[in-house]
Structure 1
Amino acid sequence: MMSRSFTVADVMTKKVVAVLPGAEFKEIAAAMERWKVTAVPVVEGEGRVVGVVSEADLLLKEEFHGHRLGLVEQMRRLDATAKAGSRRAEDLMTSPAVTVGPGASLPQAARLMASHHVKRLPVVDVSGTIQGVVSRSDLLKVFLRPDDDLAAEVRHEVVEHLFPLSHRKVEVRVDAGVVTLSGEVRDSALVPLAERLARTVEGVVDVRCDLTARSTA
């Protein structure tokens, strides 16, 4: 009934800034600055992702610069101190990388980012070869859909399907992504469902349901 949901492939950035495992610290920092990104995938061979270097990985060198740790803190932060003393991507990177497939849904990508506390995900095919990168800002692109497009989709995919006999009496208005459903329908039991389905349309910010059911008494 509902139209195809947006996937990572629909919103990802296909132009990828990546580095090789042997890339030097300054080379990585320069790439991040030039392309205004907060992390870069590390790839080898034909583009297989083997890790990710983030700003946080690079900042460890500054954090520990001139700062001598006690033995207990050294043991507690072994990985961090090792990265602080490293120069190349293969030693700085987080591996294995947290990646996502191009066919993943936007909510799936958002949950991955949240659970792993990352801002960007390399998008890889089944062989692990990089296809693009998806960022938090990419996931928000669906909320830039024009109001007219959202209204047309809600009307066609929700209202006309749920209320085939009374859909002409339903008004669908969208303002800044907020959908308002108003009018009279025949089946009151379908009103909550109409609201829930309207919320699933990609790009909808909120739904106000003012639908009423015609009395059969």
Structure 2
Amino acid sequence: MKHLRTVDDVMTHGAASIDCGTAFKDIVEVLRMWNVSALPVLSDDGRVIGVVSEADLLLREPGTDTAGATTAEQLMTRPAVTVAKDAAIPAAARLMARSHLKRLPVVDGDNRLIGVVSRGDLLKVYLRPDADIAAEIREMIMYQLIPRGSAEVRVHVANGVVYLNGSLPEPAVEDTVVRAVGTVPGVVEVRTDFTIPVCA
């Protein structure tokens, strides 16, 4: 299975979008047709300038500032919350949580729309097989984290939970190992049971 590390690895390409002049009823139709709750609004050159959601449409009531709004440009929320395609999956998840959004437009370096990522997309990383996770962790520990011959670490992964045990040369090494292992795609939790020599 491909290692899922960035938004580009899990996003949906070819997302639905609308332009500034899209009429109210047409927005509703696109939302229904694509079965989504929000749509990016694009400028003439394809840049994301806002988002129109179902909530934006429902708030169009008499006596409010949006009462006379009939186009995407008048209805949209701006600026749009977007995410770069090379953003790490955890970073995208945090952005989505902070913004209370279910979907994020994915943009390139020029803020042009290239796709959309949803909560479900971000969760795909946790479908990674335990054996793949364990293999990556063993390689990381062996070649990057611990000098050869200075420690013995055994790795077991079950349902995304990583179990590490063995011996380490000093307590600081354990902290480094746990932090690094926690960044491996698909890891849910890291549990350790290391023996560390006590200095006399």
Q: Could you state the TM-score of these two structures normalised by the residue count of structure 1?
A: 0.79
Matches of 2:171 and 2:142, distance apart in 1:
13
Can you list the C-alpha shifts for 1:168-205, whole angstroms capped at 9, x where unaligned?
x4221111110001223444441232222211212210
Partner of 1:110: 93
Q: Does 1:143 align with 2:126?
A: yes
Partner of 1:91: 74
Letter in 1 for 2:71: R
Letter in 2 for 1:86: A
Q: 1:124 aligns with which of 99, 107, 127?
A: 107
Matches of 1:113 and 1:216, distance apart in 2:
46
Secondary structure (helix, strand or coil) at the match of 2:114 reads strand
Secondary structure (helix, strand or coil) at the match of 2:190 reads strand
RMSD between aligned residues: 2.5
Matches of 2:187 and 2:67, distance apart in 1:
44
Matches of 1:128 and 1:190, distance apart in 2:
41
Letter in 2 for 1:83: T
Q: Does 1:181 align with 2:180?
A: no
Secondary structure (helix, strand or coil) at the match of 1:52 reads strand
CA contact 2:106–2:114 (8 Å) conserved in 1: yes
CA contact 1:58–1:84 (8 Å) conserved in 2: no
Letter in 1 for 2:35: K
Aligned pairs for 1:2-81 (under 5 A) are: 6-61=5-60, 64=61, 81=64
The Cα of 1:104 is off from its aligned counterpart by: 2.1
The Cα of 1:109 is off from its aligned counterpart by: 2.3
Number of residue pairs matched by the alignment: 197
Partner of 1:165: 149
Higher mean C-alpha deviation, range 131-140 or range 112-121: 112-121
Letter in 1 for 2:55: A
Matches of 1:148 and 1:199, distance apart in 2:
16
Work out the percentage of aligned pairs sharing the same amino acid: 50
The Cα of 1:216 is off from its aligned counterpart by: 8.0
Letter in 2 for 1:7: T
Residues 116 and 84 of structure 1: is their aligned pair in 2 closer, same or farther, counting only changes over 3 Å? farther
Q: Which structure has greater helix proportion?
A: 1
